[in-house]
Every structure is written in C-alpha cells, then in structure tokens.
A and B are shown apart, each in its own frame.
Chain A
C-alpha cells in the first residue's frame, strides 16, 4: 500500500512505522457494556463461575463510580457503551480447546512485521515472548524450557484454566477490583495478559516479555498481568505495545500486579509506543493503566522502568507498596510527548515496612504542543522506621508551545524518615547544541545526542536490546520537533 501513497503519507509512515492494520476474520461481540457482556466474555474464555462473579463484583462497583478527572489531562468524555470489549481473530477461538491450534497466518505475519517472532523455531535468544493480539494471547514461546524449571509463563486465560488456585490466591490482592475507576473496569472486562509464576529460589534465566497489539477498530484493550516471585526468586519482564493509526480514539485500560515475597526481585520494563494520534491530535490510544508492585516479603525488590513514547493520553502510575522490612522500590521513567500528546505519569512509593528504600528518577521531554506531567507520591507511614527516599524529576522543554508540570506529593509521618526531592525544568541547552554543531554534527543529531544523554540514567536500567530500541524510538519521536 505504501507505493501508491504520496510523500506526505510516506513521511507519516516513517514517523509511526507500526500503524498498519491486519485484515483478519474477527470474532467480536457487539458494542456496549452490561452484565451480559461480562458473562459473555467470561463464557468465551471458558472461565469458572468464581471468575465470572469476580468480574461482576468489579462491574457493579464500577457502575457506581465516575471517571477521575484530577489529572492534568484534557480529553472528551469516553462513551463506554460505544466500545467493543472483546475481539479475537476467528481462527484463534478454538485455541483453548486445542493446545496445538493453528495461529492465523495473518496474525503471525503481523508479529513478524513488528519484529516479534512467535514461532519456537524463530524465537529470540534469551527472551521468551507472549504475544497478545487484541483480546487474546496468540502464542507464548520458550514454554517447555521454563516449565522444566518450574516457571509458569502463559496467558492469564490459560492460568485461570490451568492454575486456578494460584490465580485465586493472588489476583486482585495488589490492585483490588475496587481500586479505581479504570482498574475496576479492567477487572470486569479484562481479556488477556500474561501470568508469570517463579517458584522459590529460581532465577528465571531469560527475559520474559509480552507484546501487546491492538488491531481491531473501536475495541478497547484490557489486559491483565500478574507476576509472582516466590522467596528468593528473580524475574525480569518486558512489555511492548503498538496499535494501528486510526482517526478515532481507542481505550486501553490495563492492570498489572507484581508480588515479591522474601528476597525476591522483579524487574518490570515497559516500552510503550501506542499510536499517539496525528500532529493535530486526531486519533490515538487513551492509555489508562494501573500498575502496582507489592514488596510483600523482607528484602524484596521491585523495579519499574518505563519508556512512554506513545499514546494520545497517558494516565499511569506504576507504584510500589513497600511492606516487607528492608524492601526496595525503584522507578525509572522516560516520558516523551510530542504534537498533541498528553501524559500524566509518575509513581507512588508507600513505605510501610521498616528500613524500606525507594528511588525515583523521572525524565520528561515535551515537544510540539504536548503536555507532560510528572505526578508522584512518597508516603512514609507512622510505624515505618528508617525509611529513605530519593526522587529526581527533570523536565526538558523542546520548543515554545509545550507544557511541563511536576506535581510530587510527599508525606512523612515518621520522624526517622529521610526524603529528598529535586526537580528541574529547563530548555534543551543551547550551549550544548552549539558545542555539538560546531563539531559538524547536524542539529537533529545534536538534539538526539543531548536528549539521549538526559535519559541515560533510565535507559541503562533496560536490557541492552531494549535500550537500543528505546534510543531509536526517542530519536524518531523527536524528529522534526525543532524547526
């Protein structure tokens, strides 16, 4: 299709290279949301009765609530009845009846085009992938090898079917159904997502990753991820996401729950590159996400790294509840906004256990007419002795029409807490650009170098391949933002 398009379109294609649509026969349910919809989704996934009830409880609570509007975001009202809550490629619908069910060749091609091989033969070295297409997980690689070590890595739907006890024990214990508006909507209608269970003392040898792809029109994607690391376990998990370019907005409301028991460590990295809408702000994904990690055990550690480069609206606060004594929470974030994108993102660090520590490093880059807000909470409860937090939130402004806000909330209720917070907002340094340009580096590359230096602290937290990816993504995003 690219051949016939004019230069302008080709340029757009270059800006967002994942914007294509895959033509597949879909099994989709009618638009709208009511108890019947939820029963239908639950039935399609062949869920047990308790799961259906669990969803309905969330739905009943959700109906009584209204959308939160405190974030510095400006978007039209969302019509929740105008969304399709379940859509899957038709050939996939039998999947749960037959483990070896065929993957729709179109879907396979889609993932190949996205650079995500989902066949065991072509799988990436050192990375196990769970690929989610609209409402279903289509394939999960490396399963056998992981299974031998006792690690469970599968889609959440399979987990509900195959490991109901584990799911029942942990699902909703970090983000309950009644947590917030979007989380309860997700609890009611979630379709797929990943489930990871790393047993006691096991160090997961490969990076686990999930790739989320929205394809269908007017659908919402509501994935749910649950990661459990038992005593002394270690797991590193990555997620990536893209969607086609469309003029209408699509809703994505995910929930991620992480649970780390004694001495366990979970690293969770996101590279979010949903379609962000065009330069005038038309279209794009509304990304309302609740992510929370629970350091339940002593000396446990949860580390969030996120590169937020896409989505028209981002509302996302990956948080850590530091309950176990000596547990550690980390949050490293790069949020880039360009054109008409709006991001209100940050973290919450709740210190409950003694001697818990947290670090927050947030880098915001705004360009074009975008708005980029860091919003965070650091709270030390009255009984938490010897807690420590350090936060640094830097914003960089590229161009005169963008907005950068920083809204940190810090609450200390214990006299032994030590909390430090620093934030700066400034323009990209003319001196640094001049220095680079006088050495023959063109302006775009100079900006890219400075911006990458600015984000280095965060990128170095990512596995190497992803850091390279993130650097490229950033370059692409800021292309043409300085005239």
Chain B
C-alpha cells in the first residue's frame, strides 16, 4: 500500500511537457482577477491530479505517450486572422473566426447589437459579464477536478469563447465557430462556454480545420449549460489535418424540461482522445447524442460518451456509427449512468461499426452503470462488414463493385447525416467521406 501511495505521489507531481510552474507564472499577464483566480484554481488541480498512463483503464487503448507535448511549444503566438469567409457564413447569424489564438467575431444579422445573444472572447466576457463567467466557467459541467487535461485546459487555455443566449430568445440561424490552425508546433487550448437561458433555442456549429503538414496539439474543453425548457443544438465537424493530436473533454448539463442535441462528426486528426456527453440533471430533460467517425490510413479515434442521468424522469438516446479502414483504429466507449434515485429513466445507446479492411480495428465498450431501479437502460453494439447480399443486389443492377460498396457505406451513415440541420455541412461531410472511401475501395 505504501508503495502504491509513493507511486501515486510520483505520478501526481508529473507535469505535461511544457506546462510547468514556470510556464504558468509566465502566463501571469496583469489579467482580469476573476480569470486569474479561475486559472490558479485549475492549476492547483492540474498539479494535484495524476498524469494518465497507458495502464489506466481509460487510456488502455490510447497511450498518452503518443501525445508528444515535448515537440510542441506550449503557448502559440498565433498571427492575427486572415481566415477567408466562406459561403457557409451566410447560413449563420454570428460567425466567430479563431485563427491561431486570435478571435474575431462578425455579427452578420445584428443579433449581438440587438442583445438577442452575447458572443465574446472569455477575456471580454470576464470584463463585461463577470457574474456569468464566475458561475459558468469551470462550473458544474466541467470542474477542473475532472481530470489532468481538463485542469490543464482550465489553467492554460489560450482561446476562450463565451456564448450566452438570453431567456426566451430563439435564434433563427445560429452561431458558427471556425477554428483554422496553420502554425506548426503549437498547442491550441480552446475553452468554450455556452449558456442557453431558460426557454431559449439556439444552434451552435463548430468547424475544426488544420492542414496535414501542421503538427500541433489540441487540448479542448467545452461546457454547455442548457437551462429550463431551453433547447440547444450543438454540432462539431472535426476535420483536423493528420498532424493534429487532440485530447478533449466536454460536458453538457441539461436542466428541467430542456433538451440538448449534440452531433459530433469526427473524421480528421491523427489521434483523437475525446470524452463528452450530457448530464440530464432535471426531471423531463433529454439528450440526443449522435455521431459518426471514420478512420483510414493509421488514424486513431478514441471516443468516450457519457449519458449521465442524475435526475428522475429523464431521457437519453445515443447513436454512434463508424467505419474503420486500412490500419485505422476506432475505440468507442459508451457509459450510461443512472445515479441513485434516478428512477423512470429511459436511456438507449447504439454503436454500429463497420470493419472494412483486415488490419483495421474497431473496439467497442458499451457500459451500463445503474444505481437505481424502476428504469430502462439498454445498449446495442454491432461490428461487422457490409452485407454481401446487398453488394450483390446492387452489382446485379450494373453498379460497379466499389460504387456499390460506397453507396452502402454512405447509406449506413445517412441515418446520422440526415440529422445535420445545415445542407452545406451535410454536403461537406458527404464529400469528406467519399474522399476517404474512394482512396480505400
């Protein structure tokens, strides 16, 4: 036991390369005292929490040593933005560009000036609305004590965005966040806080991009607060380049009668280790989590979804679909947790995987952790290849084999693509999938 304690103490004192005491003190620009305090709180947790190791259950399938923080300089000095607007922008009320660490906000339909939404960098938000930042940054959804990397993000975040939708407001188009990273050797540490006040409705879309040649790390953290009877749709299209390594921790807290719809489209990056989900924390609340993933070459995508039910009479649905090709490896870990007293819970989790080449690996670990009775929690998981009868059917109608396979795989994904509320994004995902499939089939 004493040996274990020493080992634990040794582990705890480990810092992630580049994120040391010195780096933290260097961060001490005479900033806002509120943010300063939050960072210090997180830094203390960061020092206290043990660094993950490959023998930890959570990291067994993704060795944390693969994240070469020593090759990335800790704090990027990103050049000011020159991200070009795209034709997607017209579909949104507000467009936020994140280039390097600089944030620019475009109020396209005037909703910000009309006070129908508040979108600002965390630096500005801390000055303008300190009470909100105090309550929600590092709040109930994602306290710094969650894990080492969440704490690291809390202490060192270099891009912070705060979105607030006032009570009863319904945004017609939505808010678009575009992250475009071009600097090699940087670590992007974005912190996103979204607060949807009671009765509000909004859609927030994130698009993450970097070039394949850009070698970088990302340690992201997102907090979503959906207040009474509010409805938040959140969508992330992740098409990082192959030089990008991401660790992410996101969580949504959903209050009484509110709903979160969360779609994650994980297609890019070299290695991703993502953990996210929802806590339906008020009676009548619900969460719908959907996602696709697709790995080719030697990509590795490791996702953990959480469906936490901490209140009775709550509902959650989850559908994750993925395909692995070449030497790609996908890990899906799903957890449904019903806390004590969470009765009349209805939770379902589905994970379907296609293993399209020998050498590709699909891992699925769906889990149920139930501490209450009088509920219904289920999961289903499948791993398989395409149905050869369906391939034959299409071929018999004159469709060449690779086309037939492609059609079937796209059809497999369609169930989720149909849920994407923007045609432009749907088309882009389609395009990315076709690109991947054409290369392999």
Q: Is the CB of A423 within 8 A of B360?
A: no
CA distance in complex: A400, B374 (Å):
8
Q: Is the CB of B370 within 8 A of A425?
A: yes
Residues of A within 8 A of B57 (CB): 70
Select the stretch in A160-168, A169-177, A401-409 that faces chain B: A401-409
- A contact face: mostly helix, strand, loop, or mixed: strand
CA distance in complex: A70, B353 (Å):
27
Nearest-neighbour CB distance to chain B for A420, whole angstroms, equals 5
Q: Is the CB of A414 within 8 A of B358?
A: yes
- B contact face: mostly helix, strand, loop, or mixed: strand
Contact with A along B368-387 (1 / 0, CB 8 A): 11111111111111111100
Q: Is B355 an interface residue (CB 8 A)?
A: yes
Nearest-neighbour CB distance to chain A for B300, whole angstroms, equals 14
Q: How many residues of B contact A (CB 8 A)?
A: 36
Task: Pick from B358, B371, B377: contact of A403, CB below 8 A.
Answer: B371
Q: Is the CB of B385 within 8 A of A415?
A: yes
Q: Is B195 an interface residue (CB 8 A)?
A: no
Task: Pick from B1, B361, B376: contact of A411, CB below 8 A.
Answer: B361
Q: Is A421 an interface residue (CB 8 A)?
A: yes
Q: Is B122 an interface residue (CB 8 A)?
A: no
Select from chain B the residue with minimum beta-carbon distance to A77: B1
Q: Is B365 an interface residue (CB 8 A)?
A: yes
Task: Pick from B376, B380, B381: contact of A425, CB below 8 A.
Answer: B376
Say whether, besides A405-B367, A412-B362, A422 and B374 are in contact (CB < 8 Å).
no
Nearest-neighbour CB distance to chain A for B290, whole angstroms, equals 19
Q: Is the CB of A415 within 8 A of B360?
A: yes
Q: Is the CB of B380 within 8 A of A415?
A: no
Q: Is the CB of A427 within 8 A of B385?
A: no
Q: Is the CB of B380 within 8 A of A404?
A: no
Q: Is the CB of A410 within 8 A of B383?
A: yes
Q: Is the CB of B370 within 8 A of A412?
A: no
Say whether, besides A404-B368, A405-B369, A415 and B356 are in contact (CB < 8 Å).
yes
Contact with B along A421-461 (1 / 0, CB 8 A): 11111110000000000000000000000000000000000
Task: Pick from B355, B374, B376, B377: contact of A417, CB below 8 A.
Answer: B355
Select the stretch in A30-38, A97-105, A270-278, A391-399 that faces chain B: A391-399
Select from chain A the residue with minimum beta-carbon distance to B363: A411
Q: Which residues of A contact B (CB under 8 A)?
A: 66, 70, 77, 380, 382, 395, 397-400, 402-427
Other 17 A-B pairs with CB < 8 A, given A403-B370, A405-B368, A413-B359: A66-B4, A77-B1, A395-B368, A397-B370, A400-B374, A406-B366, A406-B367, A407-B365, A410-B363, A410-B381, A412-B363, A415-B356, A417-B383, A423-B368, A424-B376, A424-B377, A427-B376
Q: Identify 7 residue pairs between A and B in the complex whose beta-carbon atoms are under 8 Å apart, listed by A's number.
A: A382-B358, A403-B370, A415-B357, A415-B385, A419-B384, A425-B368, A425-B376
Q: Which residues of B contact A (CB under 8 A)?
A: 1, 4, 57, 343, 353, 355-385
